[in-house]
Amino acid sequence: MRKVKNLKGYRQRPTIYGLNTTGFLVTAIISILALLTFLGGFTIKKIIVVTLVIAVTYFTALLLTNNSTIKEWLFDEKLPEKFSDDE
């Protein structure tokens, strides 16, 4: 007999710009804090540093949220890739 898993309430997680909501909020907060450094004036060095900080934060959050091996390591029970076996 085949074991049927209860997937009631299982749905796709919402994403914003390719990130889950937590990753988006972390990226947004760090970006806002980095942009606050411009309150003292603009210099080329500040622009380059702020751009690098925002880019590194975004790509790190994107890699961590989309990496399936990290998700498999965090969660014991594997979620199905497809919802039905009708194929």
What is the pTM (predicted TM-score) of this model? 0.56
In a domain? residue 29: no
How far, in Å, CA of 79 to CA of 71, rounded?
10
Domain with 56, as residue range(s), is 41-77
Output DSSP code: residue 46. Answer: H
Residue with tokens 């710009």: 17
Residue 82 lies in a domain: no
Residue 24 belongs to a domain: no
Query: CA angle, 18 as apex, 16 and 23 as ends, to 5°?
Result: 70
Q: Domains in the chain: how many in total?
A: 1
Cross-strand partners of 51: none
Could you read off the pLDDT of 32-79 as tens digits, one per residue? Answer: 888 888 888 888 998 899 999 989 988 888 887 766 666 666 666 666
Question: pLDDT, tens digit, for every residue of 24-34?
Answer: 888 888 888 88
